[in-house]
Amino acid sequence: MQLFEHNPIKIYNSLSGKKETFTPIETGYVGMYVCGPTVYSNVHLGNVRTFMSFDMVFRYLKHLGYKVRYVRNITDAGHLENDADAGEDKITKKARLEQIEPMEVVQRYTVDFHNILNTFNFLPPSIEPTATGHIIEQIELISTIIENGFGYEVNGSVYFDVHKFNETHEYGKLSKRKLEDLIHNTRELDGQSDKRNPQDFALWKRAEPQHIMRWPSPWSDGFPGWHLECTAMSTKYLGEQFDIHGGGMDLKFPHHECEIAQNEAAKGKSPVNYWMHANMLELNGQRMSKSTGNTVNPDELLSGNNDFFSKAYAPSVIRFFIAQSSYRSVLDLTNDGLLASEKGFYRLMDAVNLLEKLEVSKASTININAWRQSCYDAMNDDFNSPILIANLFEAAKYINQIKEGKETISAEDLATLTNTMNIFVFDVLGLENVVKNDSGTDKLTGAVNVLIKLRQEARANKDFALSDKIRDELAEAGILLKDGKDGTTYSVN
RNA sequence: GGUGUCGUGGCCGAGUGGCUAGGCUCAGCUCUGCAAAAGCUGCUACAGCGGUUCGAAUCCGCUCGACACCUCCA
């Protein structure tokens, strides 16, 4: 009996605009695709938030016993700056600026991306395919779309015929747009003469002579359009229809809309059963933007080397901060918010670290199984991590009360409590236990315990000047003493 | 201009018809030699105006405001 059998999940499906009970295509198996980063610069913090949301989805599905194939691509072929562009893409542009090969850019920022995600304790996806590794699949896909009458070639470039597609299909059904409205609201851009209509999008672009990233194709030496790779790779690794497709809210249109169109044009099927979109991350109430300077890199946030925050924050504190809001809400990154989360996070960790020191009684004063189920209920409801965390704090309070002798717990319930806390805090939320506690084995513990003992002797002799000196100087060194009923413990800042 | 999301207490942030999360901050208390930590208590909110209902933060309408997308963007 797997956990998922009695834990039905509800997922907010962007396609229907409603929460729907999740039913995978194959019982026990989940195929999930998330649009990955374009590796032309350091990974954006907003990217981190989006991927972290899906990391928690991945973690929870795995915990429930699903066999999950999680595919998150690396876009290394470069998107066009815009459709009117003569052919220089982001990666080529960056390469020219930095006087290096495009693939060098890709390599550098792919490594950066992985480093940052490792720092934040991400689980690696099952498959992390690259766009440049799937040129052949993309060319085949274009051929099929042309054969089916939804693509046309002009001057070595191939475009998707949105108007033709819309005659028999519904372009805009994900983003709730109508082609008519799009026609009225599309700006006239220069250099679009190749397209039959401004709403059409590129499937293949002929490369200009100076363009370094290029591949041969039936139409020209060129490169694939920027919506195509996700269709090609999701189909290859998850099939023509799969369970969950995720990404940032800003990809809903046009990127995901075009993915649906390409799939339907090529395979005649709508590819995805559940579309999930993570909302935006703001910095001090405004969108992050490099041009206005209202932006901070992940490594700057972690190191404290920035103009926005008063200090450096641990990766788990940031993870905790993000988990305290719903993935579907806009989240505002502020110093006050991070400070509040930091305090809460360490309080939670302190409680977790107390678990192994609790004394058991014959009976428990709370219903631990009901509490445990409420943790599952929270995550089953569209991965509601804020509610889950509220439940974890309920447990923290209970743990502290047990320690104070105000509540009791049985040995069996303590095992359940410990197990459940570990599951949700570490396995599902992906937090790391950064609080060093006195495990009684390392040398620091020995040394601090000597000082604690000296202080206790001083206190017994009413030499409070000495005892306070020990306490205060340890505090300055980052070691906080906590006097409890059963003696003194410490924590390291 | 169009489309969409949303406006919750000092701050952050859940909650979609009645039982009204959680964190942080602040005040008081318990504990303590004093602190810290922990516990207890208090502060009780849903942008505004109408409407539906026995009952609305939650549904409907309007107004005001914010954000995102419509162009590369997670």
- Tell whether A85 and A216 lie within a shared domain: yes
Nearest nucleotide over every DNA/RNA strand to the A289 CA, judged by C1': B73
Q: Which pLDDT belongs to residue A436?
A: 44
Residues 57-76 of chain A sitting with CB below 7 angstroms of strand B: none
Specify the higher pLDDT residue, A199 or A140. Answer: A140
Question: A425, A395 in Cβ contact below 8 A?
Answer: no
Q: Is the residue at A457 inside a domain? A: yes
CA A237/CA A260 separation, integer angstroms: 16
**Which residue from A274, A322, A281 is spatially nearest to A56, judged by alpha carbons?**
A322
- Tell whether A137 and A92 lie within a shared domain: yes
- Tell whether A136 and A107 lie within a shared domain: yes
Q: Is the residue at A40 inside a domain? A: yes
Dihedral sign, CA of A190, A192, A196, A197? negative
Identify the band that residue A329 occupies on the pLDDT scale cut at 50, 70 and 90. Answer: confident
Computed on alpha carbons and rounded to an integer, the radius of gyration of chain A in Å comes to 27
Q: Is the residue at A60 inside a domain? A: yes
Nearest nucleotide over every DNA/RNA strand to the A455 CA, judged by C1': B33
Q: Which pLDDT belongs to residue A493?
A: 66
Q: Which pLDDT belongs to residue A88?
A: 63
Specify the higher pLDDT residue, A1 or A59. Answer: A59
Identify the band that residue A92 occupies on the pLDDT scale cut at 50, 70 and 90. Answer: confident
CA A76/CA A87 separation, integer angstroms: 16
Q: Is the residue at A433 inside a domain? A: no
Nearest nucleotide over every DNA/RNA strand to the A80 CA, judged by C1': B72
SS3 A198: coil
Q: Which pLDDT belongs to residue A315?
A: 93
What CATH code is carried by the domain that includes residue A357?
A: 1.10.730
With a cut of 60, say whether residue A492 has pLDDT above it. yes
Q: Which pLDDT belongs to residue A438?
A: 44
User: Where is average pLDDT lowest: A96-100, A198-202, A373-377?
Assistant: A96-100
Q: Is the residue at A205 inside a domain? A: yes
Q: Which pLDDT belongs to residue A476?
A: 81
Q: For strand B, is any atom closer than 7 Å to the CB of A37?
A: yes
Q: Which pLDDT belongs to residue A471?
A: 86
Q: Which pLDDT belongs to residue A345?
A: 94
CA A414/CA A392 separation, integer angstroms: 14
- Ligand-binding site membership of A404 (annotated): no
Read off the pLDDT of residues A363-410 as tens digits, 9 standing for 90 and up: 999 899 999 999 999 999 999 999 999 999 999 999 999 988 889 999
Q: For strand B, is any atom closer than 7 Å to the CB of A482?
A: yes
Q: In the numeric block, which tokens belong to residue A314?
A: 């641990």
Query: Of A278, A307, A334, which residue sits at a domain end?
Result: A278
Q: How many residues does chain A have?
A: 493
CA distances from A206 to A65, A102, A130, A132 (A): 46, 17, 20, 16
- Tell whether A189 and A204 lie within a shared domain: yes
Q: For strand B, is any atom closer than 7 Å to the CB of A177?
A: yes
- Tell whether A376 and A338 lie within a shared domain: yes
Q: Which residue is nearest to nucleotide B32 (CA to C1')?
A: A483
Average pLDDT over residues A193-213: 84
Identify the band that residue A81 occupies on the pLDDT scale cut at 50, 70 and 90. Answer: very low
Q: Is the residue at A434 inside a domain? A: no
State what percent of residues in chain A have pLDDT above 90: 51
CA A127/CA A74 separation, integer angstroms: 10
Question: A14, A248 in Cβ contact below 8 A?
Answer: no
- How many angstroms is C1' of B59 away from CA of A175? 25
Split into its structural domains, chain A has a count of: 3
Nearest nucleotide over every DNA/RNA strand to the A320 CA, judged by C1': B23
- How many angstroms is C1' of B50 away from CA of A198? 44
What CATH code is carried by the domain that includes residue A172?
A: 3.40.50.620
Query: Of A278, A304, A324, which residue sits at a domain end?
Result: A278
CA A6/CA A270 separation, integer angstroms: 29
Q: Which residues pair with A276 in a beta bridge?
A: A246
- Tell whether A366 and A447 lie within a shared domain: no
- Ligand-binding site membership of A375 (annotated): no
Residues 265-324 of chain A sitting with CB below 7 angstroms of strand B: 278-282, 285-288, 324
Q: For strand B, is any atom closer than 7 Å to the CB of A226?
A: yes
User: Where is average pLDDT lowest: A99-103, A165-169, A442-446, A455-459?
Assistant: A442-446
Q: In the numeric block, which tokens belong to residue A361?
A: 């009684």
Read off the pLDDT of residues A234-247 as tens digits, 9 standing for 90 and up: 999 999 999 999 99
Specify the higher pLDDT residue, A6 or A226. Answer: A6
User: Where is average pLDDT lowest: A34-43, A67-76, A83-92?
Assistant: A83-92
- How many angstroms is C1' of B67 away from CA of A46? 15
Specify the higher pLDDT residue, A350 or A79. Answer: A350
Nearest nucleotide over every DNA/RNA strand to the A459 CA, judged by C1': B33
- How many angstroms is C1' of B26 away from CA of A397? 21
DSSP string, A273-334: EEEEEE--EEETTEE-BTTTTB---HHHHHHT-SSS-SS---HHHHHHHHHTS-TTS-EEE-
Residues 451-470 of chain A sitting with CB below 7 angstroms of strand B: 459, 464, 467-468
Which structural domain, as residue segments, surrounds residue A447? 443-492
CA A220/CA A159 separation, integer angstroms: 13
Identify the band that residue A428 occupies on the pLDDT scale cut at 50, 70 and 90. Answer: very high
With a cut of 90, say whether residue A52 has pLDDT above it. yes
Q: In the numeric block, which tokens belong to residue A180?
A: 């008519």
- Tell whether A218 and A107 lie within a shared domain: yes
Read off the pLDDT of residues A460-489 as tens digits, 9 standing for 90 and up: 888 888 888 888 888 888 788 888 766 787
Q: Which pLDDT belongs to residue A435?
A: 54
- Ligand-binding site membership of A258 (annotated): no
Number of H helices, E strands in chain A: 16, 15
Q: For strand B, is any atom closer than 7 Å to the CB of A185?
A: yes
Q: Judging by DSSP bridges, how do beta strands A29-34 and A242-248 pair with one another?
A: parallel
Read off the pLDDT of residues A266-297 as tens digits, 9 standing for 90 and up: 999 889 999 999 988 888 888 787 767 778 88
Question: A103, A214 in Cβ contact below 8 A?
Answer: no
Q: Which bases on strand B have an atom closer than 7 Å to a protein beta carbon?
A: 1-5, 11-15, 21-25, 31-40, 66-74
- Residue-averaged pLDDT of chain A: 87
- Tell whether A392 and A488 lie within a shared domain: no
List b or e across A424-438, with b for residues whose CB sees 16 or more CB atoms inside 10 angstroms.
Answer: bbbebbbbeeebebb
Q: Please state the φ and ψ torsions of residue A165, each to the nearest 5 degrees.
A: -60, -40
CA A433/CA A437 separation, integer angstroms: 10
- Tell whether A117 and A189 lie within a shared domain: yes
Identify the band that residue A226 occupies on the pLDDT scale cut at 50, 70 and 90. Answer: confident
- Tell whether A449 and A417 lie within a shared domain: no
Q: Is the residue at A470 inside a domain? A: yes
- Tell whether A152 and A267 lie within a shared domain: yes
Q: Which pLDDT belongs to residue A68?
A: 97
Nearest nucleotide over every DNA/RNA strand to the A48 CA, judged by C1': B74
**Residue A120: CB atoms within 10 Å:** 20
Nearest nucleotide over every DNA/RNA strand to the A345 CA, judged by C1': B23
Output DSSP code: residue A35.
Answer: -
Q: Which pLDDT belongs to residue A157?
A: 92
With a cut of 50, say whether residue A343 has pLDDT above it. yes
Query: Of A278, A295, A324, which residue sits at a domain end?
Result: A278
Q: Is the residue at A436 inside a domain? A: no
Residues 377-436 of chain A sitting with CB below 7 angstroms of strand B: 381-382, 384, 386-387, 389-390, 393-394, 396-397, 400-401, 403-404, 406
Q: For strand B, is any atom closer than 7 Å to the CB of A343?
A: yes
Q: Judging by DSSP bridges, how do beta strands A18-21 and A10-13 pair with one another?
A: antiparallel
With a cut of 60, say whether residue A450 has pLDDT above it. yes
Q: For strand B, is any atom closer than 7 Å to the CB of A6?
A: no
- Tell whether A287 and A253 lie within a shared domain: no
**Residue A468: CB atoms within 10 Å:** 13
With a cut of 80, say whether residue A84 has pLDDT above it. no
